[in-house]
Amino acid sequence: MSGINAVTTNAPKGGVRYERVTVREDGPVGLSPIYTGICGTDRGMVLGHLDFSYNPDKQDFIVMGHESICRVTSADSKTGFREGDIVVPVVRRPGGCINCRTGRQDNCSDGKKHEAGITGMNGFMRESFTDSPEFLVKVKDPALARVGILTEPLKNVVKVFEVFETVSRRSIYFSEDSTYEGKNAYVIGTGAEGFLFSMMASEYGFNTSILNRHPIDENRLKICDAFGMDFVDSSKGIPDENVDLLIDTSGDPATLLNFIRRMNYNSIAVMFGTNGKAPPADFTGKDIDHIVERNISLVGSVDAAKVHYSRALSYLSRWNSMNAGALSSMITDEKKPSDVSVFTERNPESIKIALDWS
């Protein structure tokens, strides 16, 4: 039987299959995934909600998967990699714009980039594939062979904090002692991205709260404790304090606006989550007043560059050594790749579901 096993969909129509596919490739590095992760984008594609996703040229399907940790199975000696190396492949591939041409396809200026497993390029949920070395990030810490699957979602967080550092230079943002101590960070959403944003805010020294509109489970509370974050059930009220850094992973207009009204002078709100189907909310003249009079910045941010994958690995390495149990418990479920029901069923206690390809 020819071909290899892969998880596929037909973008943007949706559906999901575990099937044998044949895809021609000729990259100088051969790879096999160890784990691939599933996130909201994958679910959205399967449900046919992501209008912007599309199959690769001349294919009536796309191999899914952009979160992964892989093992090198073969490599030309000039690539800088060798068999057995553990790597994370970069998701977004450059087009021809000025940002793409400088390794910053995350800031693509014309939309002509591609994304593995999402837009016009086969993803990583398949027994084997090949790639070019410039798109592979080496994992040096062997302890990350499993939690390293969080590199891809964490790289988004690393970029957001780079954007935060750039934008916050418009005034003196830090506290009187040069640190972020005494500053409040609120992260909306208790999914994997919400937790990774919270961990980073905590790392920076913010008083960090992670919020959701309902109580959370014990596993999530344990992670909060381990990383020094507070959980706030916003359905029961929000503390009466100013927010200096707001990060939204929900994409919900009403939720976002509700917190923008709490934002402090010189504060920064990061819009990361998207949910095109969310109901609209009233944006008022008073909201504009609040943003103007307080010199507030709101920044959208998507994807990240190779440098952010590298730094994400450094953070994971440290968090893993400090709080191994807590970081590891972010991966709540391990499934077989053939178990495609995980794309459509949802357990509220799941944080990150990993498919085990080993």
Residue choice 128, 130, 205, 234 for contact with a second copy (CB under 8 A)? 205
Which residues on adjacent β-strands are paired with residue 128? Answer: none
Tell me whether residue 172 or residue 221 sits nearer to a second copy (CB atom). Answer: 172
Using the structure block, give the residue that is written with the tokens 């207009």.
Answer: 253
145 binds a second copy, rule: CB under 8 A: no
Stretch touching a second copy by CB under 8 A, among 26-34, 99-107, 145-153, 341-349: 99-107
Stretch touching a second copy by CB under 8 A, among 38-46, 213-221, 259-267, 332-340: 259-267
Q: Could you tell me the end-to-end alpha-carbon distance of the chain, in angstroms, rounded to an integer?
A: 20
Residue choice 15, 128, 257, 356 for contact with a second copy (CB under 8 A)? 257
Q: How far, in Å, CA of 276 to CA of 44, rounded? A: 11
261 binds a second copy, rule: CB under 8 A: no
Stretch touching a second copy by CB under 8 A, among 22-30, 170-178, 212-220, 230-238: 170-178
Buried b (16+ CB within 10 A) or exposed e, 32-52: bbbbbbbbbbbbbbbeebbee
258 binds a second copy, rule: CB under 8 A: no
Provide CB contacts within 8 A for 342, sequence distance 6+: 38, 333, 335, 353, 355
Backbone angles phi and psi of 235, in degrees to 5: -70, -20
Buried b (16+ CB within 10 A) or exposed e, 234-266: beeebeeeebbbbbbbbbbbebbeebbebbbee
Let me know: does 299 contact 268? Beta carbons within 8 Å.
Answer: yes
Q: Report which of 251, 253, 263 is spatially closest to residue 283, judged by C-alpha positions.
A: 253
Tell me whether residue 217 or residue 289 sits nearer to a second copy (CB atom). Answer: 289
Stretch touching a second copy by CB under 8 A, among 64-72, 114-122, 174-182, 330-338: 174-182
280 binds a second copy, rule: CB under 8 A: yes
Let me know: does 227 contact 187? Beta carbons within 8 Å.
Answer: no
328 binds a second copy, rule: CB under 8 A: no
271 binds a second copy, rule: CB under 8 A: yes
Residue choice 33, 117, 189, 251 for contact with a second copy (CB under 8 A)? 251
Please, what is the minimum distance in Å from the beta carbon of residue 29 to a second copy?
15
Please, what is the minimum distance in Å from the beta carbon of residue 22 to a second copy?
30
Radius of gyration of the chain (CA): 20
Binding mask 224-243 for a second copy (x = CB under 8 A): --------------------
Stretch touching a second copy by CB under 8 A, among 2-10, 114-122, 279-287, 327-335: 279-287
Q: How far, in Å, CA of 30 to CA of 16, rounded? A: 25
Tell me whether residue 290 or residue 335 sits nearer to a second copy (CB atom). Answer: 290
